[in-house]
Chain A
Amino acid sequence: MKAHKQPWIAPGVLPLLAPFFILFALFWLVPLIGGLRISMQSNTLLGEPEFVGLTHFKKVLGDRLFYLSLKNTALYTLGNLLLILPFATLLAVLLRRTWSRLRPLLSYALLLPALTPPIVLGVLFLLVFHGREGLLNQLFVTPFGLKPINWIKDPSWILPALVLQSTWRWTGFMAFFIGCGLEGLPRTTQEAASLDGAGPVRSFFAITLPQLRPVLIFCAAYLFVDAFAMFSGAYLLLGGSGGTANAGLLVVTYVYQTAFFPHNEFGTAAAMSLMTVPVLLLVCWGLFAFRPKAASRKAVLK
């Protein structure tokens, strides 16, 4: 095998790699291992901790709210992906057919929400989602003769509200990425298809979409991680709580609640965050496993 002839590390590259690995070890690996230790100690951040074994893990496994927060996060993440990706793809295709002089301005306007601090989004969205006077209700709900929706207080609408907020935030940005991907596609296959008599819709689904796969997988991975780590938007919209009946309780929020306010159970919270790690690994592995070999390397490397 060729691999045996390769050195463990290429000559002269150590100074280039070292900064990353020192930081990786210090601020990723050590905290992970430290987290394992904390999760087996009694609930104190400072002072003398006691070894308690797997007590915290057992407690988390029996915690109904932990499962609820996992479920909410999964729904939230899924909602994000299912709403943002198709909408962003459509927007990217449309953008390419707009009047060319307005195009840069339009795509900039569309991705402005992504440049906005989530806290500001939260402030804006309190207004959009506000009970009776909210924008969404006044423009899209009451005019159709429906009862105004209390987006933030009604448990069945909290998650949709969070998903809408995130959709508004990321769609333009993802459309920008997908648009860049579209520009890089070879024209020849497209032309061949239209010569063969394929309509624009057919050639989009048969040719463009498969070619966009790497970009789309990158976008999906980005959205997935962002959704899973979601904290800021929900924090402001729901005041750090899980909302009514904890319908908007997300994993990161719950970990934060458990560790600091109102529970102060640091060890339990550490166990909780460690238990999300296998979940994340599994899902990402699933995301990357479902595709052919050739596309896979490209997508990993963006």
Chain B
Amino acid sequence: MSRSRSLNRDRVIKRDRIMTGFITLLVCLIAIVFLYPYVWMLCASFKENREIYKPLQLLPKQWDLQYFKMLFSGEYFSFQGALGRSLTIAGIQALGATVIAAAAGYVFAHHRFRLAGACLFAALLVIIIPKQVMVLPLYAWLIKLGLNGQMAGVILPGLISGVGILFFSQVFRQIPKPLLESARMDGASESRVFASMLPLVMPALLTYFLVHFILASHEHLLPLLVLQEDDQRTLPLALSSLYGSSLRYPRAVIMAASSLAVLPSALLFALLYRQFRSALRDVLSS
């Protein structure tokens, strides 16, 4: 009796293994489809124009770094400058948005007051009507404020984040009340209590920073209006204007620039992957 049962269990385990192997293979295939364009893009940054328009040919005839050199020499646009501006804008914006959203989220999580509902409604409005939709009046207003052509003109509107507030109000809800009470006992102000809670929600802070950083560095429409001069362009703007400029220049340069443009976000994400996962699991499962 017991022998046949253990045999049966062995069979179930074996079947499970085969299943796992099969599913792993399937997901690997999907992943390859998702990644193929990237690998192609990286390879294309070594190719001549003629080679580039054959998407099925993956590897270049020769691995020549000349297009990367052209990119860094600033012959077409100042890559370093554009990348630097993109990172600066995204970094400041993400940092500011994280702190501001966390502060407001903390208040909504731990305080009841009559205006709270109206405040949350404001946060929802910001989500529902994103700045891409209101970009024209926003641009006109930025001109009036004298922020046209300034990095601040892109950064300041990006500091408002409705999603961030909802996210953090959920995050701070998980901090037990007694902990807060003991911090308040010492006579600390609310701002002090908030600051002392920050280390406890580090994964969530990093997660939100990362998401906002990525979205901010992708932004196209508002920078397109506000930062029009060549020496003000962010990386997406520089790439799209190079792309539209002419068909003569070596396409490999834009492939090289695009390959490098993915790097900052991808690296940051790889570094923070664990924190991201644990923070999201906590928030989504509560």
Residues of A within 8 A of B (CB): 3, 6-13, 15-17, 19-21, 23-24, 26-28, 30-32, 34-35, 38, 45-46, 91, 94-95, 97-99, 102, 104, 106, 108-120, 122-125, 127-128, 130, 133-135, 138-139, 168, 172, 176-177, 180-181, 183-185, 214-215, 221-222, 225, 228-229, 231-232, 235-236, 239, 251-252, 255-256, 259, 266, 269-270, 273, 276-277, 280-281, 284, 300-302
Contact A120 B133 (CB under 8 A): no
Q: How many Å lie between the Cα of A184 and that of B217 in the bound state?
A: 31
Given contacts A108-B269, A273-B135, 6 further A-B contacts (CB under 8 A): A31-B134, A34-B141, A38-B140, A46-B143, A97-B19, A236-B240
Residue interface mask B38-81, A partner, CB < 8 A = 1: 10110000000000011110000000000000000000000000
Q: Which of A95, A118, A120, A239 has the most CB of B within 10 A?
A: A120
Contact A180 B277 (CB under 8 A): yes
Contact A302 B166 (CB under 8 A): yes
Query: Which 10 pairs of residues, A with B, have the shortest CB-CB distance?
Result: A184-B285, A35-B137, A229-B132, A10-B111, A12-B190, A232-B220, A16-B103, A180-B280, A115-B265, A27-B157
Residues of A within 8 Å of B165, CB to CB, are 20
**Chain B interface main SS type:** helix
Q: How many Å lie between the Cα of A177 and that of B137 in the bound state?
A: 34
Could you write out 13 A-B pairs with CB less than 8 Å apart? Answer: A10-B190, A13-B107, A15-B190, A26-B156, A118-B236, A127-B40, A128-B37, A172-B34, A184-B281, A184-B286, A232-B218, A255-B136, A302-B170
Whether B89 is near chain A, meaning CB under 8 Å from some CB there, is no
Contact B26 A19 (CB under 8 A): no
Whether B138 is near chain A, meaning CB under 8 Å from some CB there, is yes
Q: How many Å lie between the Cα of A127 and that of B37 in the bound state?
A: 9
Contact B55 A302 (CB under 8 A): no
Q: How many Å lie between the Cα of A174 and that of B161 in the bound state?
A: 20
B140's contact among A17, A34, A114, A222, by CB below 8 Å, is which? A34
Whether B179 is near chain A, meaning CB under 8 Å from some CB there, is no
Contact A23 B41 (CB under 8 A): no
Q: Which of B137, B160, B277 has the most CB of A within 10 A?
A: B137
Interface size on B, residues (CB 8 A): 96
Contact B24 A28 (CB under 8 A): no
Residues of A within 8 Å of B134, CB to CB, are 28, 31-32, 35, 273
**Chain A interface main SS type:** helix
B23's contact among A11, A98, A251, A255, by CB below 8 Å, is which? A98
Q: How many Å lie between the Cα of A168 and that of B137 in the bound state?
A: 32
Q: How many Å lie between the Cα of A32 and that of B220 in the bound state?
A: 20
Whether B175 is near chain A, meaning CB under 8 Å from some CB there, is no
Contact A112/B266 with A117-B236, A128-B55 known, Cβ cut-off 8 Å: yes
Residues of B within 8 Å of A281, CB to CB, are 128-129
Contact A118/B218 with A273-B134, A300-B166 known, Cβ cut-off 8 Å: yes
Residues of A within 8 Å of B270, CB to CB, are 108
Residues of B within 8 Å of A214, CB to CB, are 284
Q: How many Å lie between the Cα of A10 and that of B214 in the bound state?
A: 34
Interface residues of B in 179-198 (CB under 8 A from A): 189-191, 194
Q: How many Å lie between the Cα of A31 and that of B157 in the bound state?
A: 10
Whether B12 is near chain A, meaning CB under 8 Å from some CB there, is no
Whether B28 is near chain A, meaning CB under 8 Å from some CB there, is yes
